[in-house]
Amino acid sequence: MQTVFEQLREKVILHLSTIYAEIELDRDYETLADEIITTMRLNSSNVGQLSAHTNLWTEEDIVLITYGDSVIETTDDMVDSSNNPPLETLKVFLDKYCAKAVNHVHILPFFPYSSDDGFSVIDYSTVNQGLGDWEHIQKITENFGLMADLVINHCSARSAWFQQFIDDVPPGNKYFFTASPEDDTSLVVRPRTSPLLRETKTAAGIKHVWCTFSHDQVDFDFRNPDVLIAFAEIIRLYMDKGTRIFRLDAIAFLWKKNNSSCINLDETHEAVKLFRTLIENVDPSAIIITETNIPNRQNLTYFGNANEAHGIYNFSLPPLLVNTLLTGDCFYLKSWMMSMPPAQNGTFYFNFIASHDGIGLRPAEGLLDDNEINNLVNCIQSFGGKVSWRSTEDGKQKPYEMNIALIDALQGTIDGPDQWQIERFICAHAIMFGLEGVPGLYIHSLLGTTNDYDKVVNTGQNRSINRHRWVYEELVEELDDVHSLHHQVLTKLTQLLHIRRAQPAFHPNATQFTLQLGRKIFGYWRQSLDRRQSIFCVSNITNNTMEVKLSDINLIGTDEWIDLISQQHIVMEQAILVLEPYQTVWISNMFDRD
């Protein structure tokens, strides 16, 4: 009978034989498997794999998304050696304002970088000195689970590895994917309009390096197994430093192949399975989330058979939810919800509305028609937002992403700004917090941060509009002012999260059914895994007062019911529930919580 370690080795060999089936390697699969397992420091005494269908999360799990310098002690022109590093200031903010609302923090790439606000990594092994050091990261992990980015598709053109490529010295000389300008790349799917190939002078002659995103972000060549080993070493380092959740950045583009789309290839999926196998054997409680900003059907494939990602970004939610609240019509959101398969045990949806990137439109393809998308884009632009574009296969330009702070995106409807901005904004989060899955909350949503036009001008990047840096003293002043937008948003969202985290029916894998309440009222029903608690989440997504028949919600008349948000008891005899503009109710049965 095989030992657990022997089973692990056999599994890794199988992954490798699938990934490299079409590649001629300089070593056999057994040798390569042993190298990777050794790099991960796994042996017969410390493997710890769990069942694929084990839920490693509960209703208490909430992730705050932030840059390491989203909150700083001083502005850049005031910095001196006596200032606390941004990661230290971030910890102070997290401990004071977030400890009761969230229990995980996603610190966006905190490594030395050359562009793209961290996603062009120069050195994977060190913390950006402008933010702090590994000790500051580990102090944050004392109170919060750490989610970290594995920027695995590409690195900075200023990295030591790429300099080795230019100098034609190992190991970097064979780390990057190259192609010929004569190659047919017409099928390649990309999220950018820049030229795909970067002409680079090297000691071995002119090379054309593949750049999915920008010419400062040079793509790795995973056909070289030494690249895989290098990333196994990086993964192990991050785990040693306290990483609990891995975000596999731009993972869909990992493997390239001639005459293909170079996205979502079988080898890429098998690589995710390999990473899952390695990571869960080091730490059975560790989690992988894939970041795949692609159409919904393709995104779902990254669950595999509960053997790829534990979680996938629910990329269709932001454009559909924003569209719902701008139009006052939940038809598209409801249709999508009804089509989504429940995440089986051992997997979950990672729900979010806003992030450091914009509101992606590719995940809305096939869900919103072109006319609906154009109306949405026009509305966002009228509210001060920017639009990023991509090139289609026939050379046309299509909107790829809407760049705007969420609080500004929801300042009104398609008819223009109105007085319901905060209510609409809170409604969006109340809907998201209750959905099946784990919520991810962007720091600038938690704080109600508005568009940062100065940063757009300074960086020349549309995405900078939603990447503001707060000076901590100024932020505290705003948060202490009960009349400020930022205080109101933080208070209301924190209250919702506090309620959410205490409800078994909001477990990420609890049952969810979409309610049929027309196009002006959006609702769904959640039921706890033990079936003892039911919560009916009902939202008025219009700027008019609406009535809902209790009989349409189908509350069980023998139970006692309460709105968890307002703490108002539901009187069944009244028959009608009145909802103010953008009001959400979480109607729960009263049950014994022992």
Task: Please state the residue numbers annotated as binding site for substrate.
Answer: 116, 154, 247-249, 356-357, 463
212 vs 196: CA distance, rounded Å: 6
Which of 61, 249, 329, 452 is labelled catalytic? 249
- DSSP designation for 456: H
* Cis peptide leading into residue 171 (ω within 30°): yes
H runs (alpha helix) in 283-329: 296-300, 317-327
Residues whose CB is less than 8 angstroms from the CB of residue 218 and which lie 6 or more positions away in sequence, other chains included: 154, 155, 156, 157, 162, 165, 176, 198, 209, 210, 211
Helix axes 317-327, 331-339, angle to 10 degrees: 150
Residue 551, phi then psi, degrees to nearest 5: -65, -30
Binding-site positions: 116, 154, 247-249, 356-357, 463
Q: Tokens 């750049």 belong to which residue?
A: 211
Please report, to the nearest 10 degrees, the dihedral formed by the alpha carbons of residues 446, 449, 455, 461 taken in order.
60
Nearest by Cα to 137 from 290, 240, 231: 240
* Residues 80/456, Cβ–Cβ less than 8 Å: no
Q: What is the 3-state secondary structure (H, E, C) of 279-291?
A: HHHHCCCCEEEEC
Nearest by Cα to 178 from 221, 209, 215, 224: 209
Q: Which long-range contacts (CB under 8 A, 24 or more apart) does 180-189 make?
A: 180/208, 181/208, 183/258, 184/258, 184/259, 186/393, 187/259, 187/260, 187/261, 187/262, 187/393, 188/260, 188/261, 188/262, 188/263, 189/261, 189/262, 189/263
468 vs 28: CA distance, rounded Å: 50
DSSP secondary structure string for all residues of 568-592: PBP-GGG-EEEE-TT-EEEEEE---
349 DSSP β-pair partners: 312
Q: Tokens 């779902």 belong to which residue?
A: 300
Query: Would you call 249 a catalytic residue per the annotation?
Result: yes
* Residues 574/550, Cβ–Cβ less than 8 Å: yes
Please calculate the CA angle 79-462-407 and round it to the nearest 5 degrees. Answer: 85
Query: What would you report as the CA-atom Rg of the chain, rounded to the nearest whole angstrom?
Result: 24
Q: How many CB atoms lie within 10 A of CB 182?
A: 7
Cα separation values, 240 from 27, 195, 288, 480, 490, Å: 29, 38, 16, 38, 33
Give the burial string for 455-485 (b: 16+ CB within 10 Å, else e).
bbeebebbbbbbbbbbebeebbebbeeeeeb
Helix axes 472-480, 485-500, angle to 10 degrees: 80
Residues annotated as part of the active site: 249
